């Protein structure tokens, strides 16, 4: 490879350093917020049952001390990432702790947690600690001023994929032709200052639907282009601030607004660092010579192939839903890990029945005996969780002495303002159905649009 290659040529390291600082800071705040809101207790300590992801049924929460230690470690490692102190260990530690917590229970899956997982993984791969960091103070020999362009480009491309997929996922008739679910959500915000009164109008819901789809589809290209970048970032701020005001989405807007700074030029980032230097009165380093980080030859050789595979996966995985029959919003087969954000207003209620195969006695289950209200709500609209819950019930009642419990469910779901209808075939014994990695679930009743 030559030094003129677009991906391997050397660029200034400042964008990586700024990304590291911003991302670490947002994650530190978001982890502290998570702990302060009592969610560690509510999500991982209180519930008796959990909904692990397929393949990870072997991981479980381990009580209060363990979970709080985990989140404390997470907060600490996020802070270390921000400071650039013991960076390699900190990024790995954060990534592992975060993945572990996310894999414990599907109930709490959010696209922005997936985004955090991905970026904390990508941060492990790049030498973002080699400039303006405590690691450099600790070991000045680590200092580098230029890095191969791919280390910065991959962060940009990952963001491009996220926005493009989010945009493509909005190209549905519900979103574009019915302005659903914004039509339900916006009027509920009619009492906020300034824009509130506007939100009662249906055309505003249409405007927001179309504008946000257009934004998601085009923003990557606007940000990549030098001449339109400032305008693009202005749009990013407008868009994410609006979502922060209108919806309850926690740290996500802040995460995106800080992450998209990566698109700015290296001069911009150098300037940011100079300002930070001034604020914290950190003297500029005396040496001004250019220094390049050294990569191990094996890493140099393997990285292009690895990144090619990684991005191929990132581009293809969100489209796996095409392989399933039926309406994606209804079945949610291939819904997660695909940047489908705020696409539906979906609610359900479920009545589970257990039948003792031996005696024929059938009784109803009180879901709140097993699940927290939050788990119950998420379970009631997601078929894979319904199946997991049915299996939990089967195992529970087997321990209670019922040899072959049959589990059926009457589950009603309403999607995007349509009347509720039966969601799951209520004659199917879910205790006998198996979960598969990517298999279609034939017992989800077809979605009929009335």
Question: Could you say which residues in the range 195-214 bind other proteins, by CB under 8 A?
Answer: 196-197
Calculate ∠ Cα 17-71-373, nearest 5°.
Answer: 125
Report, in Å, the least distance between residue 248 CB and other proteins. Answer: 5
Report, in Å, the least distance between residue 269 CB and other proteins. Answer: 10
Integer Cα distance of 11 and 34 in angstroms = 36
Nearer to other proteins, 157 or 351 (CB): 351
Instruction: Select from 7, 56, 207, 412 the one that contacts other proteins (CB under 8 A).
Output: 412
Output b/e per residue, 108-143; b: 16+ Cβ within 10 A.
bbebbbbbbbbbbbbbebbbbbbbbbebbeeeeebb
Nearer to other proteins, 101 or 142 (CB): 101
Report, in Å, the least distance between residue 348 CB and other proteins. Answer: 6
Cα–Cα nearest to 410, from 360, 352, 331, 367: 352
Which tokens belong to 254? 């802040």
Contacts of 208 (CB under 8 A, 6+ apart): 179, 182, 186
Instruction: Select from 414, 426, 429, 447 the one that contacts other proteins (CB under 8 A).
Output: 414
Instruction: Select from 193, 283, 297, 360 the one that contacts other proteins (CB under 8 A).
Output: 193
Cα–Cα nearest to 206, from 224, 226, 223, 181: 181
How many residues bind other proteins (CB under 8 A)? The answer is 74
Nearer to other proteins, 61 or 181 (CB): 181
Q: Scanning residues 312 to 351, which ones bind other proteins (CB under 8 A)?
A: 341-342, 345-349, 351
Instruction: Select from 3, 65, 194, 279 the one that contacts other proteins (CB under 8 A).
Output: 194
Report, in Å, the least distance between residue 341 CB and other proteins. Answer: 5
Report, in Å, the least distance between residue 213 CB and other proteins. Answer: 17
DSSP string, 63-123: HHHHHHHHHHHHHHHHHHHHHTSSHHHHHHHHHHHHHHHHHH-GGG--HHHHHHHHHHHHH
Instruction: Select from 234, 306, 313, 438 the one that contacts other proteins (CB under 8 A).
Output: 234
Q: Scanning residues 257 to 296, which ones bind other proteins (CB under 8 A)?
A: 257, 261, 264, 267-268, 271-272, 275
SS3 212: helix
Cα–Cα nearest to 104, from 171, 39, 149: 39
Calculate ∠ Cα 137-140-144, nearest 5°.
Answer: 105
Nearer to other proteins, 52 or 196 (CB): 196
Q: Answer yes or no: are the C-beta atoms of 142 and 136 closer than 8 Å.
A: yes
Report, in Å, the least distance between residue 360 CB and other proteins. Answer: 12
SS3 428: coil
Integer Cα distance of 274 and 82 in angstroms = 16
Integer Cα distance of 173 and 361 in angstroms = 45
Read off the DSSP letter of residue 417. T
Q: Scanning residues 419 to 438, which ones bind other proteins (CB under 8 A)?
A: 419-420
Report, in Å, the least distance between residue 366 CB and other proteins. Answer: 5
β-bridge mates for residue 407, sequence order:
354
Nearer to other proteins, 241 or 312 (CB): 241
Instruction: Select from 9, 41, 291, 418 the one that contacts other proteins (CB under 8 A).
Output: 418
Q: Which stretch binds other proteins (CB under 8 A): 134-142, 288-296, 304-312, 408-416?
A: 408-416
Nearer to other proteins, 332 or 376 (CB): 376
Interface pattern 366-395 for other proteins (x via CB under 8 A): x-x---xxx-xx------------------
Contacts of 213 (CB under 8 A, 6+ apart): 167, 170, 171, 175, 176
Q: Which stretch binds other proteins (CB under 8 A): 167-175, 248-256, 322-330, 383-391?
A: 248-256
Integer Cα distance of 297 and 152 in angstroms = 20
Report, in Å, the least distance between residue 281 CB and other proteins. Answer: 19
Nearer to other proteins, 130 or 340 (CB): 340
Neighbours of 372 (CB within 10 A): 17
With binding defined as CB under 8 A, does residue 181 bind other proteins?
yes
Calculate ∠ Cα 358-359-360, nearest 5°.
Answer: 100
Q: Scanning residues 109 to 148, which ones bind other proteins (CB under 8 A)?
A: 110-112
Q: Scanning residues 29 to 58, which ones bind other proteins (CB under 8 A)?
A: 37, 39, 42
Nearer to other proteins, 56 or 109 (CB): 109
Instruction: Select from 35, 76, 160, 249 the one that contacts other proteins (CB under 8 A).
Output: 249
């Amino acid at each position: 490879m030559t030094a003129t290659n677009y991906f391997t040529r050397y660029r200034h390291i400042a964008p990586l350093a700024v990304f590291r600082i911003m991302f670490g800071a947002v994650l530190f705040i978001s982890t502290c917020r998570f702990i302060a809101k009592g969610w560690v207790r509510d999500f991982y300590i209180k519930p008796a049952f959990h909904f692990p992801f397929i393949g990870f049924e072997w991981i479980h929460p381990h009580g209060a001390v363990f979970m709080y230690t985990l989140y404390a470690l997470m907060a600490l490692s996020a802070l270390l990432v921000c400071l650039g102190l013991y960076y390699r260990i900190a990024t790995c530690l954060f990534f592992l702790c975060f993945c572990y917590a996310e894999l414990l229970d599907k109930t709490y899956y959010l696209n922005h947690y997936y985004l955090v997982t991905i970026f904390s993984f990508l941060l492990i791969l790049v030498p973002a600690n080699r400039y303006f960091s405590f690691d450099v103070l600790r070991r000045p020999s680590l200092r580098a001023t230029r890095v191969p362009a791919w280390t910065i480009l991959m962060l940009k491309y990952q963001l491009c994929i996220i926005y493009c997929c989010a945009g493509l996922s909005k190209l549905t008739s519900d979103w574009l032709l019915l302005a659903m679910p914004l039509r339900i959500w916006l009027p509920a915000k009619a009492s906020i200052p300034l824009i509130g009164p506007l939100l009662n109008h249906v055309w505003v819901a249409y405007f927001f639907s179309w504008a946000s789809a257009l934004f998601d589809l085009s923003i990557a290209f606007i940000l990549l282009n030098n001449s339109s970048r400032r305008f693009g970032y202005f749009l990013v701020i407008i868009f994410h601030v609006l979502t922060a005001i209108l919806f309850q989405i926690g740290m996500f807007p802040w995460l995106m607004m800080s992450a998209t700074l990566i698109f700015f030029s290296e001069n911009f980032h150098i300037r940011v660092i100079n300002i930070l230097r001034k604020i914290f009165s950190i003297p500029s380093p005396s040496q001004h010579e250019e220094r390049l980080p050294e990569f191990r030859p094996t890493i140099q050789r393997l990285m292009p192939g690895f990144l090619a595979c990684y991005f191929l996966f990132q581009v293809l995985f969100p489209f796996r839903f095409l392989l399933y029959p039926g309406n994606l919003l209804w079945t949610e087969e291939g819904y997660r890990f695909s940047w489908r954000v705020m696409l539906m207003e979906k609610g359900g209620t479920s009545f589970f029945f257990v039948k003792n195969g031996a005696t024929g006695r059938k009784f109803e289950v009180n879901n709140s005996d097993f699940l927290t209200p939050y788990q119950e709500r998420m379970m009631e609209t997601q078929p894979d969780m319904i199946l997991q819950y049915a299996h939990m019930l089967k195992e529970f009642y087997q321990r209670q002495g019922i040899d072959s419990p049959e589990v059926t469910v009457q589950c009603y779901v309403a999607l995007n303002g349509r009347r509720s209808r039966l969601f799951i075939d209520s004659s199917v014994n879910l205790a006998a159905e198996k979960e598969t990695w990517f298999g279609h679930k034939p017992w989800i009743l077809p979605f009929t649009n009335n």
